[in-house]
Chain A
Amino acid sequence: MMTITKTIFSGFGGQGVLMMGYVLATSGMHEDKHVAYLPAYGAEVRGGTANCTITISNEPIASPVASFPDFAVLMNTPSVLRFEGKVKAGGVVFLNKDLVDVMPKRSDIEVVQVPVNSIAQNLGNPRSANMVMIGALVAKTGLVSLSTVVESVKEIFATKGLKVHEINAQAIKQGAAFVQKNNP
């Protein structure tokens, strides 16, 4: 197990990209790991691109910036074009199969495609697509445990009530199940 991992989440505003990062960082914190969450910070516009970097480590974190992330969660095509080249050799990219219409050209990284929008749609809540993806990411990478993610999401959305939590928990589990079946 690597002692330090960096994950980049990228997509357009509204896809819950920053929330995915926040959920992963919070989960790492609950497992007593060193974590850092760094949002991309620029002159951004509504509906424009959004990305953040999450560092999870067994040691204190020197830099929260990822030049070469281990994992990349790419929710739309522009994100693939931007981050494909940066992922560390041997790393894994997670693509939103419903919205990404290009395939990474590199052969030294693993590609996991998850139709997160379709899965979320079938669950009856299109907004939980990011939860499907975080389930897939965690099931594949083991960065944190799935149960910690579910608990963290419950905590983060505590004010939204039990119904929302049940949908989120379902979405996380379905994302995990999809990956376990297709990309074990």
Chain B
Amino acid sequence: MRGSHVIAEAATLAGCRFYAGYPITPQNELPEYMSGRFAKLEDATFIQAESELAAINILMGASMTGARVMTSSSSPGISLKQEGISYMAGMELPAVIVNIMRGGPGLGNIAPSQQDYFQATRGGGHGGYRTIVLAPYSGQELVTLTMKAFDLADTYRMPVVLLGDGLIGQMMEPVTFPEPVDPATLPKKEWTLSGAKGRDSRLIASLLLDPVKMEQHNWKLARKYETISQRETAYEPYLLDDATLAVVAFGTAARIAKGAVNRARKEGIKAGLFRPITLWPFPETELKTLAGKVKHILVFEMNLGQMLEDVRLSVGTEAAIHFHGRPGGIISTPQEIADVIIKLAYRHELD
């Protein structure tokens, strides 16, 4: 099944019943599938908005009613949505936002890229907020992470970003789906705007003019982000037990890195892979522990060094950090990365 279709199906199975979006390559297959899928459901709404701005603001309203909601776009479209995402972070509204990244800046091209790491992991819009960022690397993980994104969004009342790229969105792989979640069985949200008949009225707003209230609200968000950092980091270790060199890569790059690690192993080099699954919160502690053991770390990204900064912050001086990256939609081959690993191993006389 095609990656973008997998996301749409997994969202539906997770109980998502509201989608608003605006077309952009290379993720058009997602809304295409969603429109057909939702047409078969009585309780689901699909809206092709007149713009990205409209889509995110429609989503904001839908989220206030308590529904599980999703939008999707690709890099330039996600930039347009940042204002709304910031508002939703401020109003503590859950939503799943899919970014199938393409080359940039500007309109860039439509080839696979990881050039939006900074934007995704630093909030993206104004106001010092965070979004949880999940980085799937296979068709099957698109299923689990899409579904998990909705749970995280509801649990923490915030936008969650699913960060893929054109390759993961276009590639078809076999996947298996779990049983669907019945939206009626999800925990009741006690904060929704559903008509104040029989209860006190509620207010959801991001405008807090009183500086004291604004500061209290920002501290509340900070405490939430702290909790998430402690509880929700996820990563996959691969052949790290005896490794002397660890590659750190996420998403499509991690897939290629895995192939490279296997090739390096065949050459007798003890290479392994550390694959962050959550990009925010970044698995800092786990990476720092690993850095104490491996001494050499190679960061590989489909950009010119963005996660690299998080690796540096996590690792400090525990290990030497090297970088290899290709921007703009060029997809490195496993052999290309294997060659970098092998060169490093010889240069530093690694076992």
Point out residues on A near B: beta carbons under 8 Å.
22, 25, 29, 35-39, 41-43, 59-65, 67
Contact = CB atoms under 8 A, between A and B. Distances in A.
A172 B311 CA distance: 52
Interface in B250-281: 255-256, 258-260, 262
A9 to B, nearest CB: 13
A43 B255 contact: no
A67 B110 contact: no
A63 B256 contact: yes
B171 A37 contact: yes
Contact of A63 (B26, B110, B172, B334): B334
B285 interface: no
Contacts, number: 47
A63 B259 contact: yes
A62 B256 contact: yes
B257 to A, nearest CB: 8
Interface residues of B, number: 20
B166 interface: yes
B171 A62 contact: no
A36 B170 contact: no
A41 B258 CA distance: 24
B333 A29 contact: no
B41 to A, nearest CB: 21
Given A29-B174, A61-B255, 12 more contacts: A35-B173, A35-B174, A36-B173, A38-B167, A62-B256, A62-B260, A62-B334, A63-B255, A63-B256, A63-B259, A65-B167, A67-B333
A154 B259 CA distance: 34
Nearest to A38: B171
A13 B110 CA distance: 20
Contacts of B335: 67
B331 A65 contact: yes
Closest 9 pairs (CB-CB, A-B): A62-B259, A37-B172, A29-B174, A62-B334, A63-B256, A38-B171, A41-B170, A64-B171, A65-B331
A67 B336 CA distance: 11
Contacts of B334: 62-63
Nearest to B26: A41
A83 B184 CA distance: 53
Contact of B167 (A25, A62, A64): A64
A43 B110 contact: yes
Interface in B147-163: none
Contact of B170 (A25, A29, A38): A38
A61 B334 CA distance: 10
Nearest to A54: B172
A38 B112 CA distance: 12
Contacts of A29: 174
A58 B234 CA distance: 28
Contacts of B333: 63, 65, 67
A67 B259 CA distance: 14
A40 to B, nearest CB: 9
A55 to B, nearest CB: 10
A102 to B, nearest CB: 28
A36 B172 contact: yes
